[in-house]
Amino acid sequence: MPPGASDKSLHGLAYFGLAIVTFRAIAGGLPARVSLRAGLAALLIAIGYGATDELHQMFVAGRTADVFDLFADAGGAAIGLIACWAWGILGTSRRHLPTDV
């Protein structure tokens, strides 16, 4: 990171990806629609992982736990799941387009 830059965007980006991969693992791929159950499970797993990561940083020399990092993790995960949801909507609408136009 450049000096003086915040690492929150990198936290968000990492957990964006983690949530997508976790959701796909739970759902068995990327279904047409994101179910509430699978989405919530993926979100809770990502946030739980972020919380344990911040907790372990309290015991590592030179690292500190930061609740705002956890907020960035949760925000990135939520945006990742929103992206999965939007992908499902776009994928469904493309499959229903007429092909004989």
pLDDT at residue number 6: 81
The answer to whether residue 38 sits within a structural domain is yes
The amino acid occupying position 76 is G
pLDDT at residue number 99: 56
The answer to whether residue 1 sits within a structural domain is no
Instruction: Find how far residue 94's CA is from the centre of its chain.
Output: 24
- Tokens coding 50: 């972020």
The answer to whether residue 99 sits within a structural domain is no
User: With 60 as the cut, is the pLDDT of residue 71 above it?
Assistant: yes
Residue range 2-18, pLDDT digits in tens: 777 788 999 999 999 99
Residue range 19-53, pLDDT digits in tens: 999 999 998 876 667 788 999 999 999 999 999 99
Torsion sign (Cα): 28, 33, 34, 36:
negative
pTM: 0.82
Q: Provide the domain count of the chain.
A: 1
Residue range 52-70, pLDDT digits in tens: 999 999 999 988 899 999 9
pLDDT at residue number 20: 93
User: With 80 as the cut, is the pLDDT of residue 92 above it?
Assistant: no
Structural domain harbouring 64? 16-93
The answer to whether residue 82 sits within a structural domain is yes
The answer to whether residue 5 sits within a structural domain is no
The answer to whether residue 40 sits within a structural domain is yes
The answer to whether residue 3 sits within a structural domain is no
The answer to whether residue 27 sits within a structural domain is yes
